[in-house]
Structure 1
């Protein structure tokens, strides 16, 4: 249930000491307050393009109308610039009060004591953690601390060209296997001329994680290590490299030539594994009809899928934890926020928002897909500190393999060396 505090009573000692607190806030750099009217200002930062910024500002207007005692100062940037700025701010004790985060960074910044543990605010009634979809209420929990609250959730899917698959007599369906997928890819590549059966996703960490989970392993373990062996990775990268050389997967050089488009939205490929909400961007980049299909399985049953999410986290140094919690609560529970944001940050996290938004077009495809996989969703393993570095190495090193610049064996050795250094293991 969303918390509402539009009308507030006296602030007691906090109001009386506001002038002193304001000076302290300037030194700390987190938020601010108005000593005359009792208005609190919090800083909110996120990454994303201009369209996301426009939507978020509309939701902030809703929040400030509902919470007149809180003002929100905003800042946003593209992904890489956001994290560069955040790291500089955090190092100087000047991190924003509340900011966009993801599961990949919870442990990294949690272990540096940069993230606010929101459990106290839940206990105080300032933040509700009920009504979340598909176990998302647990997505931000790390080692007993609540370090993030989802504002959207997505899972992996196959974005594919249904006409190309129909022409070779294949209809992807729940429970289909990797062997069936590989056979379809080969048929499409052989029959379609310049259209390859699939993009080469051998360097996508999240896809390999699903494959490992299907086989009783995982990319990362609960004790913050790699959950697979060098032999496992040689098999994965070796199979992709062989399929690439056989002409079933899009050659790396051709993929590079059409960036920033993906291989499937650039009409080079009939299928590509990615997060289900990416179909929104892909569909906007091509006139070819695209659809979502289930992830293939090893045994016809288990996909290994989980819901990952963008989150809102608070700064451990904020002077306004209560207001930060109220802000997060509003952003994840308020139905009007859900209607405004749609699926810009992923499928809406709570049932109240999910039910309030009526998706159309591609968004309707995403909603239908998310509903279809509800029964196969499993818990996610929190990523260890250094996971982002390991993910980048996985992508970069396999790209060298796909381009023929290094062998599979050398690439595997290099990855394990870099990943173990990044994870401190």
Structure 2
């Protein structure tokens, strides 16, 4: 469906290559282009699309109003949908070449849209229209695909482990104070035993592909490499799933319990004292747990190898610009305001996650949970490395397959060897489609 875009992208590459060759052969190199700037006297209209609800829509309207106080000649027409509907509409627009000028963007779609020539190269605008000083190099690299910046994170989160202090007190067990994955399993067993069967120390962490990724990163590997290949083999995946057998054998939450408490998870149903997940889930957990639970702990995941850069900052969401926008400078100006301005930080707060920009973060009013997340991310600074390659096209399918196989392992309806075989069969289809 993107064949025309591929041809257009190829033409651009071919033209660029020809210019480079001409520059090498000629007597003088072409002059450098001046950095783009936006003319505030130019009247333009931009379309802005985001996913969310009425609350987020109201926040965007307030930010747009603040933006117009500084840029009165840029009219911004915003629309929003739920997450699934948002991407259904973008797919339809992509086929017709009519994407909005500026889009709230999800990390899992970044490679697909950028590789098909649908997103604007933002490198030209970095450091002039789009301020880079408030954004760390780690954050800026998140939006890079094949050495080109296509999106800027609005906010970040990191992998962590939530704990329930009230349950730990009932079990008579201290907070998990770090250690290996084996140490964590042993600690879970102490909590499960101390609870007398009322709840469990945790659940089978090998059902989440992110925990596998943390272990691989500690070994200097990626889950998936830039060229689309897997960073692990059948033996390594089998080793990981076998690590969870002790948890599945009685230490962790039984799979049957998950079915009984759905749609709640084990942690927010107070059936598990810990949960390994993204750190921005805290507010939702507290809301689901109810008034009997007023605080959560947030600690680093178990360690695979001391000193490894196994964690990273993941974008809660990003902002990108359509490659077909008629007003790239104005669109870049809007993106900069949405991400970097103090007004944006003050109005959005943590609605889109912990602000990625230091300028916006300083202006945001953080509630206790947001402050806890901020302090947690500061505490794991020595474990934070560069973000992995942007997710491959089809990553969501593989993540779901990994989860489903984890569920089947929990029920005992599949062996580890069979699960590995099934996952690699699915991966072969996705990577070679």
TM-score bucket (shorter structure): 0.7 to 0.9
Deviation of 1:195 (Å): 0.7
Partner of 2:32: none
Alignment check: 8 A CA contact 1:170 1:184 kept = no
2:320 corresponds to 1:313: yes
**Map 1:334-349 → 2, pairs under 5 A:** 334-349=341-356
Cα 1:48–1:396, aligned 2, differ >3 Å: closer, same or farther?
farther
Partner of 1:304: 310
Partner of 1:368: 375
Partner of 2:417: 409
Partner of 1:266: 269
Which structure 1 residue ranges, 5 or more long, are not aligned? Answer: 12-37
Deviation of 1:297 (Å): 0.1
Partner of 2:337: 330
2:40 corresponds to 1:8: yes
Cα 1:267–1:303, aligned 2, differ >3 Å: closer, same or farther?
farther
- Please, what TM-score do these two structures have when normalized by structure 1? 0.86
User: What is the distance in 2 between the residues matched to 1:256 and 1:77?
Assistant: 30
Deviation of 1:4 (Å): 10
For 2:388, which of 378, 381, 390 is the aligned residue? 381
Give the 3-state SS of the residue equivalent to 1:130 in structure 2.
coil
Partner of 1:421: 429
Give the 3-state SS of the residue equivalent to 1:88 in structure 2.
helix
Cα 1:354–1:189, aligned 2, differ >3 Å: closer, same or farther?
same
Which structure 2 residue ranges, 5 or more long, are not aligned? Answer: 1-35
**Map 1:352-363 → 2, pairs under 5 A:** 352-363=359-370
**Map 1:273-284 → 2, pairs under 5 A:** 273-284=276-287
For 1:135, which of 129, 133, 138 is the aligned residue? 138
Moved more, 304-313 or 81-90: 81-90
User: What is the distance in 1 between the residues matched to 2:264 and 2:139?
Assistant: 30
Q: Provide Cα deviations, 1:100-149, integer angstroms capped at 9, x if missing partner.
A: 223322212111111111112236x2222222146212211111211110
2:102 corresponds to 1:94: no
Alignment check: 8 A CA contact 2:218 2:308 kept = yes
Cα 1:222–1:84, aligned 2, differ >3 Å: closer, same or farther?
same
Alignment check: 8 A CA contact 1:359 1:367 kept = no
Deviation of 1:210 (Å): 0.6
RMSD: 2.2
Partner of 1:64: 68
Moved more, 408-417 or 248-257: 248-257
Cα 1:182–1:242, aligned 2, differ >3 Å: closer, same or farther?
closer
Q: Provide Cα deviations, 1:285-326, integer angstroms capped at 9, x if missing partner.
A: 113232211111023443600001010011112222111101
Cα 1:69–1:241, aligned 2, differ >3 Å: closer, same or farther?
farther
Partner of 2:15: none
User: What is the distance in 2 between the residues matched to 1:97 and 1:340?
Assistant: 22
Alignment check: 8 A CA contact 2:138 2:387 kept = no
For 1:190, which of 163, 182, 193 is the aligned residue? 193
Cα 1:93–1:141, aligned 2, differ >3 Å: closer, same or farther?
same
2:80 corresponds to 1:76: yes
Deviation of 1:234 (Å): 1.4
Partner of 1:34: none
Cα 1:194–1:378, aligned 2, differ >3 Å: closer, same or farther?
same
| Paired residue total | 391
User: What is the distance in 2 between the residues matched to 1:206 and 1:149?
Assistant: 22
